[in-house]
Structure 1
């Protein structure tokens, strides 16, 4: 299998400095896994970013407001 690297061109939207993945779950009822990139405000903590991302996901899925966090990852968006 051959893969090609896609390079970001001038028409691609800019990506954030960090890549995140969050899974929220109401066991036996509902779950959602979302992902994206984020530019933390200088001086913010990992917890600050977690709270902001969780709120972002809940704004899309209000039924998950009381959900358990099943997974959260936040990593620099570079190789």
Structure 2
């Protein structure tokens, strides 16, 4: 199970309330629409980047059903620290 926080609202939120990684995912259906989602996530031990991508893709599509079968045009998953 991946713990995730979608679209973290405040840059001033305490780091403990955020996930270990920050993500951004953009999906597009050419000529029909585009959506970008972002947030933080804490992957379980042993999870791969692909595991996290698939979970986040499923999450974004569940929130935006019109993006089912859309193309992924951007994805980033970075440690949530400076």
Which TM class, normalised by the smaller chain length? 0.7 to 0.9
Q: What is the count of residue pairs matched by the alignment?
A: 72
Once the two structures are TM-superposed, the CA of residue 41 in structure 1 deviates from its matched residue by: 0.8
For the pair shown, the structure with the greater C-alpha radius of gyration is: 1
Report the TM-score when normalising by structure 2.
0.81
Name the structure 2 match of 1:44.
47
Report the TM-score when normalising by structure 1.
0.84
CA RMSD of the aligned region, Å? 1.8
Tell me the distance in 1 between the aligned counterparts of 2:39 and 2:80.
Answer: 10
CA deviations over 1:25-75 (Å, ceiling 9, x no partner): 001101100000000011000000000000010010011110000100000
